């Protein structure tokens, strides 16, 4: 029986022990800080990156792996006859998924590339499910159907304490309705079909707390997975985790420092809360 192997990129946030237990291959992106290029791998933790960004002269720049890197990896993974499903962050935030698609024309391996439409733990929801099914012997079609089901029932919200990095990185233009010259506003945006859409904005911590009450009311009862990511744990994150755990005591809720790819654009004291429901 042909095996299926799962590939993703380093914008996918999950516990390393989960990655290793499920044999998920992670392709690292690169981050350039003051003209020095760093590989976004295990040696560049989120905490280490935040400290480096805080003292950098310029906003770090991120870049996707070259097409040839993807092709070589696909050749290696597929040489035993395995099929490959390569799941990546939304194309609206990076060219990574397009580089992966172009690499499929350069490899002899059987590769299916998936645009997750998401990032961070919302991407990991799809990746982990795919890897679990692959481990259990599911075929490519079954795994792709499961990925689509999660994608279609996912929601991801990002809270930003400062628009500085979004403005510097040119991402603020993707968030319609944000007033870019008011940099001390707190903003909550939903990543929907690859686009950042503001859903709440204001001044002070109450902006996040007020939004969170609406968020909880909209979740419903069929929640399957929840994740919280951040660029530095705050009181709000601790309170949000406790409230969600009380609502869904049977669900493990990882609270993880996000990766450098996400943190570059969100800046410090940012968070993301994401979940998906059963159809």
Tens digit of each residue's pLDDT (9 = 90 or more) over 45-104:
888 988 988 888 888 888 989 999 999 999 999 999 999 999 999 998 889 999 999 999
Mean pLDDT of the chain, nearest integer: 90
Share of residues in the chain with pLDDT > 70 (%): 91
Give helix 206-218 / helix 235-247 axis angle, nearest 10°.
20
Q: Which of 203, 169, 206, 174 lies closest to 186, judged by CA?
A: 203
CA pair distance 228, 203, nearest whole angstrom:
22
- How wide is the angle at C-alpha 221 spanned by C-alphas 218 and 224, nearest 5°? 105
Angle value at C-alpha 223, between 123 and 140, nearest 5 degrees: 45
Q: Taking residues 255-276, what's their average pLDDT?
A: 90
Per-residue model confidence as pLDDT tens digits over 200-235:
988 877 899 999 999 999 998 899 999 999 998 889
pLDDT at residue 103, as a whole number: 97
Per-residue pLDDT tens for 67-77?
A: 999 999 999 99
The confidence score (pLDDT) of residue 177 equals 40
Q: What is the pLDDT of residues 241-262, one digit of tens each?
A: 999 999 999 999 999 999 988 8
Q: For 224, left (φ over 0), alpha (ψ -120 to 50), or beta?
A: alpha
């Amino acid at each position: 029986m042909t095996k299926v192997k799962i590939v993703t990129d380093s914008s996918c946030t999950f516990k390393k022990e989960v990655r290793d237990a499920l044999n998920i291959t992670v392709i690292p992106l690169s981050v350039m800080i003051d003209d020095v290029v760093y590989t976004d791998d295990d040696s560049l933790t989120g905490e280490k990156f935040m400290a480096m960004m805080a003292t950098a002269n310029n906003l770090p720049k991120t870049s996707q792996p070259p097409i040839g890197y993807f092709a070589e990896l696909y050749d290696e993974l597929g040489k035993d006859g395995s099929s490959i499903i390569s799941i990546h962050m939304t194309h609206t935030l990076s060219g990574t998924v397009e580089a992966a698609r172009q690499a499929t024309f350069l490899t002899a391996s059987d590769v299916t590339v998936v645009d997750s439409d998401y990032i961070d733990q919302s991407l990991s929801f799809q990746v982990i499910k795919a890897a679990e099914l692959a481990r259990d012997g599911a075929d490519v079609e079954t795994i792709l159907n499961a990925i689509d089901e999660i994608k279609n029932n996912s929601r991801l919200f990002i809270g930003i304490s400062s628009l500085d990095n979004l403005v510097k990185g040119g991402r603020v233009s993707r968030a319609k309705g944000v007033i870019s010259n008011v940099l001390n506003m707190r903003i909550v945006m939903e990543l929907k079909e690859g686009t950042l859409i503001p859903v709440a904005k204001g001044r002070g911590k109450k902006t996040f707390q007020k939004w969170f009450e609406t968020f909880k009311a909209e979740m419903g009862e069929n929640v399957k997975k929840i994740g919280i990511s951040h660029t530095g744990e705050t009181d709000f994150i601790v309170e949000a985790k406790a409230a969600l755990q009380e609502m869904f005591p049977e669900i493990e809720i990882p609270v993880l420092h996000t990766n450098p790819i996400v943190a570059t654009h969100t800046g410090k004291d940012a968070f993301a809360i994401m979940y998906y429901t059963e159809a």
